[in-house]
Amino acid sequence: MAAPAAATAAFSISGLSATGFVFGGFVPRKRQEAREFLARWTAQELPLVVFESPQRILETLRELAALVPERQIIIARELTKQFERVARGWLSELATAFAAKPVKGEVAIVIAGNHPKFIRVP
């Protein structure tokens, strides 16, 4: 699937802000660069759509859970394909759930923007 199509498809099924989103592409591979990238983009009010490989999804979810654990997130795998799967919930909960099972296929992540409507107060 082409990058713009996957990003748009993931955002369209997210149920998040209808005013738009920011597309970040792939999360950087180096840990420090990934942290800085995620910190910068999750501070924005618009939702962030990123891609991640199945091999690095758990590390990225852990980084996100450390940054914004009470933010809504959507993890979409294999969009527009036979085995399409979408998981919705709070980042802290989905990071734990995805640690328990291997992830296969293309992954698009939609992280809610920094807006009170999409942040759970602990």
Exposed / middle / buried, residue 33 (Cβ in 10 Å: 0-12, 13-18, 19+): exposed
pLDDT at 105 over 60: yes
Can you tell me the mean pLDDT for 39-55? Answer: 92
Which stretch of DSSP H or E encloses residue 10? helix 3-12
Q: Indicate the domain borders of the chain.
A: 3-107
pLDDT at 14 over 70: yes
Q: In the CATH scheme, what architecture does the domain 3-107 have?
A: 2-Layer Sandwich (3.30)
pLDDT digits (tens, 9 = 90+) for 62-87: 999 999 988 999 999 877 777 778 89
Helix (H, G, I), strand (E, B) or coil at 74: strand
User: Could you tell me the pLDDT band of residue 112, with boundaries at 50, 70 and 90?
Assistant: very high
> Could you tell me if 109 and 49 are in contact, meaning their C-beta atoms sit under 8 angstroms apart?
yes
pTM (whole model) above 0.85: yes
The pLDDT value given to residue 119: 72
> Could you tell me if 100 and 70 are in contact, meaning their C-beta atoms sit under 8 angstroms apart?
no
Q: Residue 12 and residue 39: Cα distance in Å, rounded?
A: 23
Higher pLDDT, 75 or 1: 75
pLDDT at 1 over 60: no
Looking at the DSSP assignment, which residues form a beta bridge with residue 25?
50
